[in-house]
A and B are shown apart, each in its own frame.
Chain A
Amino acid sequence: MDKTNTHIPMWLLAELTFACPVQCPYCSNPLELSASRKNELSTEEWIRVMRDARKLGAVQLGFSGGEPLVRTDLEELVVEAKSLGFYINLITSSIGLTAEKIAVLKKAGLGHIQISFQGSNRESNKLLGGTDSFDHKMAMTKEVIKQELALGLNFVLHRQNLHQVEEFLTMAQSLGAEFVELANCQYYGWGLHNREHLLPSQAQLIEAERVTNEFRDKYKGHMDVFFVAPDYYDDRPKKCSNGWGTTFMTVNPEGEVLPCQAAKVIPGLEFPNVRDHTLTDIWNKSDLFNRFRGTDWMTEPCKSCPEKEIDLGGCRCQAFMLTGDATNADPVCSLSPHHDKVLKITEKAQRPYQEDETQKLMFRNPGNAKKLKAEKSELAE
């Protein structure tokens, strides 16, 4: 199967570190937490990755993690990325950010900062993110606006904070944010582990969308609001990252290259490392990137489906996680013979939201990672 790949990886997501001061229970990172950071790519290795990605035609670069501000070489990486011609996005919890650092990063060439909030007020932000960081996030949001960098606010939604959408939008508006993303969390990694206590009811979603639409009408032209619904409630799936191996490339902290952030959940895939191969070879020739590119890999009902080019069979990770086979149709699709599995999950989510459900969340931290690992090995014995 030697096809010439004509796709350009427009987006490079550079996950600089798994280390993170926030403990979000919806994090898409793997459940295992690296014990140390010594295996992280070095500054020189990241520069090589960025240079190769530019050669392939990548234009958007996201520095993410974990928390990218943990890296002491961030400024150097931004300078290098800028000189290569990337548009640079920093995806951060804002913990570790200061007014000085914003100025330094702006001067280095940073274009856009996206700050995530876990809750719309001090208490819930602390409760749902496991850090007392609300006041700092507010201060940094104001500072980014003051220094005239493009700012995006990101509010990760789930059943335990969907009722806060109005409070959050009011806050974003009063701060002067131009761009707000209300993204329902996805169920990978820690998010999958906590899915039962994160998946909202349909009633919660309808109300949140109603409030969002009201806001959109009221502040049209001043604040753009994006609402990303959880696809468990759709009857057609979403393309995987705009199509597996078509647009996105993620390089994780230890140099493995992934077609999407979650792909490591699929067993039997080998993840080529930038320490062993060039990015060009990985993108064009690796088994991994060719595995689900296009439509040749499909099984029924996707294979003969007239809509197959529209959603490319949906998310491969979701297909594996819910049906046990990554070549199946994403079971979010109502045409999938496994669609009942999604219905069963959403059925259970129709119970009303209760405040004390927060206690059942497993927060992402080394202690919990250890606990989960121990449970897993007990099961294996």
Chain B
Amino acid sequence: MSEFNLETASFKLNPRYQFQWEEAQQCHVLLYPEGLIKLSGSAAEILQRCQAPTTTATLVNELNKAFPGAEGLTDDVNEFLADAQQQVWIVQVSD
């Protein structure tokens, strides 16, 4: 059900998850029924940009601009998105 092509498809944050900054924990979190996932700084940077429909290419582009010179950024983004797809944190947006 969560299978889509990360290279070509548009996707966004799964609306079932609530994404926000938590002051008490000093990190971004994903909230879902009766649970919470604490996000690393880089995970939050990516998911923050998935609140509206986006693509992998757009994300890499935006992140390269925000963090110029960051090494291995494309690989990191790809790796995270594959994981996020598996966890259904992101879902495909049909055109």
Contact = CB atoms under 8 A, between A and B. Distances in A.
B22 interface: yes
B32 A150 contact: yes
Interface in B1-31: 1, 16, 18, 20, 22-25, 29, 31
B24 A179 contact: no
Contacts of A87: 18, 31-33, 36
Contacts of A222: 1
Contact of B22 (A59, A150, A152, A221): A59
B30 to A, nearest CB: 10
Interface residues of B, number: 15
Contact of B29 (A59, A111, A112, A150): A59
A56 B23 CA distance: 10
B34 interface: yes
A145 to B, nearest CB: 13
Interface of B: 1, 16, 18, 20, 22-25, 29, 31-36
Given A60-B34, A150-B16, 6 more contacts: A10-B36, A57-B25, A89-B33, A111-B31, A111-B32, A112-B33
Interface of A: 8, 10, 56-57, 59-60, 62, 85, 87, 89, 111-112, 114, 150, 152, 179, 221-222
The 7 tightest CB contacts between A and B, nearest first, are: A57-B24, A87-B31, A112-B33, A150-B33, A87-B18, A8-B24, A150-B16
26 contacts: A8-B24, A10-B36, A57-B22, A57-B25, A59-B31, A59-B36, A60-B31, A60-B35, A60-B36, A62-B34, A87-B31, A87-B33, A87-B36, A89-B33, A111-B16, A111-B18, A111-B31, A111-B33, A112-B32, A112-B33, A112-B34, A114-B33, A150-B32, A150-B33, A152-B34, A179-B33
